[in-house]
Structure 1
C-alpha cells in the first residue's frame, strides 16, 4: 500500500511539473509572437512615406517597434545617420529577411533604408 501511494505521489508531481512546463512554453511562444508582430510592417507603408515627411505623421503609420527583436534587426544593416533616432521593422510579406529602417532627425524622416538580414 505504501509503495502504491509513493507511485501516485510521484506521478502527480510529474504531471504538475509537465503542465507547468507546457504553460511556460506557451507563455514564451505568445511573447515571442507578440514581439515579432510589434516589428512587422506592410511594405506599402514603407513605399508610401517619403524622406522629409513629418516624424509624427510617419510614426502614426508604424507599429511600436519596441521589442528585443530590434537588436537582431540592427545587425548587418548599414550605419545609422549621425544624430538620428532610428526604428527597425520586418516586412510582413512572409519572407522574414527584409528589414525596413526609418531614421528621424529634427522632426522629419531623414532616411529610410530597406535591406536583407544575414
Structure 2
C-alpha cells in the first residue's frame, strides 16, 4: 500500500512538472511571436517613407517597435543622430546569408530626420 502511494505521488509530481514545462514553452513562444509582431516591417513600408515626412504619418504605417529585442537591434548599427529619437525594426523579408536586415528610423522636431538600413548578424 505504501509503495503504491509513493508511486502515485511520484507520478503526480512528474505530471505537475510536465505541465509547468509545457506552460513555460507556450509562454516563451507567445513572447517571441509578440515581439515579432511588434518589430517586423515590410520593405515596402521602409521604401515608402521619405526623410522630412511628418513623424505621426510615418509612425502610423509601422508597428510599435517596442519589444525585448530592441536592444539587440540597436547594436551594430550606425551612430544615432544627435537630439533624435529612433525606432528599430526587422525586415519582414528573408535575411541575406543568415544576416537580418534592420531598419532604423530617427525622428527630430516632429519629422523623419533619417532612415537607415543595415545588416545584423
**3-state DSSP of counterpart to 1:93:** coil
Name the CA distance, whole Å, in 1 between partners of 2:15 and 2:120: 42
Which structure 1 residue ranges, 5 or more long, are not aligned?
none
Question: What is the aligned partner in structure 2 of residue 38 from structure 1?
Answer: 38
Q: TM (normalized to structure 1)?
A: 0.96
Deviations 1:35-71 (A, max 9, x none): 1220000000000000000001000001000011110
Q: Which of 97, 100, 117 is residue 100 of structure 2 equivalent to?
A: 97
Name the CA distance, whole Å, in 2 between partners of 1:56 and 1:89: 17
Name the CA distance, whole Å, in 2 between partners of 1:8 and 1:68: 41
The 8 Å contact of residues 103 and 110 in structure 1, kept in 2 or not, is answered as: yes
Name the CA distance, whole Å, in 1 between partners of 2:29 and 2:4: 37
Question: What is the aligned partner in structure 1 of residue 86 from structure 2?
Answer: 86
Which structure 2 residue ranges, 5 or more long, are not aligned?
none
Name the CA distance, whole Å, in 2 between partners of 1:22 and 1:80: 41
Question: What is the aligned partner in structure 2 of residue 53 from structure 1?
Answer: 53
Give the aligned length: 118
**3-state DSSP of counterpart to 2:60:** helix
Name the CA distance, whole Å, in 1 between partners of 2:23 and 2:62: 32
Runs of 4+ in 1 over 3 A off after TM superposition: none
Name the CA distance, whole Å, in 2 between partners of 1:94 and 1:29: 20
